[in-house]
Amino acid sequence: MSERWLVAMSGGVDSSVAAALVARAGHEAVGVTMDLGEGSARDAAPRSAKKCCGLPDAEDAREVARALGIRHYTANYRDEFKSHVIEPFVAEYAAGRTPIPCIACNRVLKFDLLLRRAKALGARGVATGHYARIAAAPDGGLGLFRPRDRDKDQTYFLFDLPRATLERVRFPLGELEKSEVRALARELGLVTADKPESQGICFVPDGDVRGALGRLAPGAPRVPGPITTADGAELGSHDGAVGYTPGQRRGLGLSSGPWYVREVRPAENRLVVDRAAALEARAVALRGAHWLDGAPPAGEVRAVVRHRHASVSARVAPGAEGAEIHFEKPVWAPAPGQAAVVYDAADERVLGGGWITGALA
């Protein structure tokens, strides 16, 4: 039966092909590009660079929609992006944590606000260009699974979607390799077929987090402070502790290395550094734990503490703030503010996860 689906079109090749596949399946695809604001670094970047939801991207999305013969709209979500993504990003770094803005952007903008818009337009739900799969879980309901192309896996950024939301979401690229996506885009003659990949955070296109924080919060002072070991021995200085993350080595300017950031203490304006071995952790504490099956998983699972990290065997246990994850092998530099995402023992189905508050001894 033909259905109407709202397709989130960022102006890249993945969302372009997602729209094409929805239409190819006999459904009515309606493209929507989210206008997330002007004046940021993404809009100043060259048109050939891959950004996210800037004005050149909306033009590319419109051109793709014309080629596919589908309707396309641009919707203003600037205020929502600022309040749910930008401001928390700045606040988390100010608190010494390492945020993941892509998770909030997915949960709030794409799979809350866009789902509301889909309902208002009489659409079945929202389709996106994420590399993930929705399939039957062991209990017969829908589950979130890793995609066929594991190199492009984006399930880490989707772990906290409510399970009920999966009924109204489609990921058309879940069974495709990236090379197949590009080949299909070329076959269809889409202008996005050879557009460069999206890398990192869309409003930090050059990867310079500290520079982005200076742009996003220009009134926040940068005050020089000490870089010390855990026992207080001073090794050097920095020009402001905010914006560093555990595991970071670059930009410290220390001799007798290598040294890595172990802890960011914004209240003291201090960076604590250590050797690599000291940053390995056998367990982490979580807050805000979210489990798709409604309860923490029992028995052996797989878990990751950063996107693109290899999963390790682990077990979930109750914790003071909600949950703990204990790893069979040490994990590298778990950072407060990052997500720990849990998969089933087969390393395929997302079971949930939470926000890391710190490593446990």
CATH of the domain at 107: 3.40.50.620
Q: Which of 44-58, 130-144, 211-225, 266-280 has the weakest average pLDDT?
A: 44-58
Spatial distance between the Cα atoms of 97 and 338, rounded to a whole number of angstroms: 8
In a domain, 206, yes or no: no
125 with 170, same domain? yes
Whole-model pTM? 0.93
In a domain, 207, yes or no: no
In a domain, 244, yes or no: yes
162 with 101, same domain? yes
Q: What single-letter DSSP state applies at residue 179? A: H
Spatial distance between the Cα atoms of 354 and 361, rounded to a whole number of angstroms: 19
228 with 287, same domain? no
143 with 168, same domain? yes
Q: Are strands 28-35 and 4-8 parallel, antiparallel or unpaired?
A: parallel
Model confidence pLDDT, tens digit, residues 66-78? 999 999 999 999 9
Spatial distance between the Cα atoms of 258 and 238, rounded to a whole number of angstroms: 16
236 with 334, same domain? no
Q: Which of 52, 53, 102, 202 is catalytic?
A: 202
In a domain, 203, yes or no: no
122 with 177, same domain? yes
245 with 295, same domain? no
Q: Which of 47-51, 71-75, 156-160, 179-183 has the weakest average pLDDT?
A: 47-51
In a domain, 211, yes or no: no
In a domain, 128, yes or no: yes
Domain harbouring 226, CATH code: 2.30.30
Model confidence pLDDT, tens digit, residues 85-108? 999 999 999 999 999 999 999 999
* Residue 135 lies in domain: 4-187
Q: Are strands 280-291 and 350-359 parallel, antiparallel or unpaired?
A: antiparallel
Percent of the chain with pLDDT over 90: 86
Spatial distance between the Cα atoms of 71 and 151, rounded to a whole number of angstroms: 32
Model confidence pLDDT, tens digit, residues 272-285? 999 999 999 999 99
Task: Kindly state the average pLDDT of the residues 173-196.
Answer: 97
Domain harbouring 339, CATH code: 2.40.30.10
38 with 174, same domain? yes
pLDDT number for residue 46: 42
pLDDT at 40 over 50: no
In a domain, 213, yes or no: no
32 with 156, same domain? yes
In a domain, 123, yes or no: yes
Where among 145, 171, 187 does a domain terminate?
187
pLDDT number for residue 48: 45
Q: Are 356 and 284 in contact (CB under 8 A)?
A: yes
Spatial distance between the Cα atoms of 127 and 295, rounded to a whole number of angstroms: 28
Q: Give the pair of three-digit tokens for residue 278.
A: 């000291």
58 with 154, same domain? yes
52 with 148, same domain? yes
DSSP characters for 224-243? Answer: -EEEE-TT--EEEEES-STT
What is the pLDDT confidence band of residue 43, given thresholds at 50, 70 and 90? very low
Where among 274, 298, 319 does a domain terminate?
274
Task: Kindly state the average pLDDT of the residues 155-177.
Answer: 97
How does the average pLDDT of the chain come out, rounded?
93
Spatial distance between the Cα atoms of 285 and 36, rounded to a whole number of angstroms: 33
- Is residue 158 helix, strand or coil? helix
The helix or strand, by DSSP H or E, that contains position 60, with its residue range, turns out to be helix 55-68
pLDDT number for residue 54: 56
Spatial distance between the Cα atoms of 7 and 20, rounded to a whole number of angstroms: 10
Model confidence pLDDT, tens digit, residues 107-117? 999 999 999 99
Q: What single-letter DSSP state applies at residue 39? A: S
Q: Which of 52, 53, 102, 105 is catalytic?
A: 105
DSSP characters for 242-281? Answer: TT--TT--TT---SS---EEEEEETTTTEEEEE-GGGGEE
Q: Which residues contact 142 (CB under 8 A, 6 or more apart)?
A: 134, 135, 136, 163, 166, 167
23 with 114, same domain? yes
Q: Which residues contact 337 (CB under 8 A, 6 or more apart)?
A: 92, 97, 98, 99, 100, 355, 356
How many folded domains does the chain comprise?
3
Catalytic, 202? Answer: yes
Catalytic, 102? Answer: no
